[in-house]
Amino acid sequence: MQSANAKKFRAELKDYMDAAITEPVRINRRDMESFILMSETIYDDFRNEIQSLQRRLIGMNEILDGKTTEYDHHEDRLERFKKKK
């Protein structure tokens, strides 16, 4: 990950935006606060991965809490979605 202070970042904004296409860039302020610049694609990938991990965690918690039902191999799994006549 590239890093830059705020002054250098402002002076070379285009270069850092181009670099952020492939990897996040850290921008540091004098007060030691940091910010991350990344492309929208990388940000969306991170968000999707976090959401996927959260769903898996919820599923694992349901298993551990016994909130699941055993799968019957002879059951029609799509039955609940079919319209009743």
**Distance between CA atoms of 3 and 70, rounded to whole angstroms?**
51
Q: Say what the pLDDT of residue 74 is.
A: 78
Domain range annotation of the chain: 1-38, 39-69
Contact 37, 17 (CB under 8 A): yes
Residue-wise pLDDT for 6-65, tens only, equals 999 999 999 999 999 999 999 999 999 999 999 999 999 999 999 999 999 998 998 888
Confidence (pLDDT) at 57: 94
**1-38 under CATH 3.40.1620.10, yes or no:** yes
Evaluate if pTM is beyond 0.85.
Answer: no
Q: What is the pLDDT of residue 70?
A: 77
**4 membership: H or E segment, kind and range:** strand 2-5
pLDDT greater than 70 at residue 85: no
